[in-house]
A and B are shown apart, each in its own frame.
Chain A
Amino acid sequence: MDLPVWQALYEELRPRGFVVVTVALDRDPEDARPWIERARPSHPTLIDPRHVVADLYHVVNVPTSVWLDETGRIARPQDVAFGTDTFRHVTGLASAPYLAALRAWVTGEVPPLTAAEVRACLSLPTPPDQAARTEFALGRWLFEQGRVEAAARHFDEAGALAPHDFTIRRGTMPMRGIDPMGPAFRSMFEAWREAGQPYYRPLPGP
């Protein structure tokens, strides 16, 4: 979990007009609490069990980051962002170039991407993606009402519509009594890898 890195970056770059907003796509605030309390954050650390941010920003896995400029415009689209190298052996992604690019953007050493460059790299939802989010949302609401079995039906349906969306398929495992680190996750991960790892799109470099 990279929260301590994001907090340190916030402390470092705050005088340059920078803030971090972290959003936990967790089943329950208590699932996120230990991670948040350990990081002792002073930046906003928000909880999003209904996946409002995943829906608005088309987030299909975690961690995903988006950069927003001072005027509230998207300056860098959805991207995999690791603050540490904990998962480098799995993802092949190093954190250092990302952190360097982020610093350079905040301090203005490097010009931001143009609007055309940002648009070219934006990941946009398809109709099946939004159908999946809608099934997820009904499932989530039923889960909140304690109608757990009905909820699971809609989570399954959502996963069938968007088989490579980790926020839906893996993110609902704790609500279906499935271990999100177990065989169900590994088989999903393998299928995603065989599909060419659709989530990791190369963006214009740091």
Chain B
Amino acid sequence: MAVSPATRFTILDDWRLVEVPARIGDGRVWLGPDEAWILAGQGAGPEDVDLADLAASLGRPLALDVPERAAFLGIAAETRGRALASLEAPDFTLPDLDRRPHALSAQRGRKVLLVAYASW
């Protein structure tokens, strides 16, 4: 199997941008143990880790684009489902048209109608 020398690879860990050196071969992306540790937050062995295997071991969905040198590590259905079923409203911070950030949690103490809409 031909594996490239280490090249820069972008991983978005639920939008947290992580640039790592990775080796690529056979449509697979191999990370060194230290990079795998950054993503998994747990101890790994001394071996390189296949990014797809790493995502699977974390139970998280992975979108991969080898030619673009980029991947997105998403959030598991179970994680999202558990959060919703707790009925604790998931918090978020988003900008308005003037780029001022607003946190949903700043509305605590009031009843909130949260409406998602779009121009499309």
* A interface residue numbers (CB < 8 A to B): 1-3, 6, 9, 16-26, 29, 31-33, 35-37, 44-48, 50, 52-59, 62-75, 81, 102, 105-106, 115, 118-119, 122, 124-127, 129-131, 133-135, 137-139, 141-142, 147, 150, 153-154, 157, 167, 170-171, 173-174, 180-181
Contacts of A173 in B (CB 8 A): 120
CB distance from B61 to the nearest CB of A (A): 4
A113, B57: Cα distance in complex, Å: 38
Contact size class for B? 35 or more
Q: Are A138 and B63 in contact, with the CB atoms below 8 A?
A: yes
Question: Once the chains bind, are B117 and A20 in contact (CB under 8 Å)?
Answer: no
A57 to B68, CA, bound (A): 30
The DSSP consensus for interface residues of chain B is: mixed
The reply to whether B81 and A119 contact each other, CB–CB distance below 8 Å, is no
Are B116 and A131 in contact (CB-based, < 8 A)?
Answer: no
* Least CB separation from B90: chain A residue: A56
B115 engages A141 (CB within 8 Å)? no
Among residues of A, the one whose C-beta sits closest to the C-beta of B17 is A141
Q: Is the CB of A57 within 8 A of B77?
A: no
Contact in complex: A137, B63 (CB < 8 Å): yes
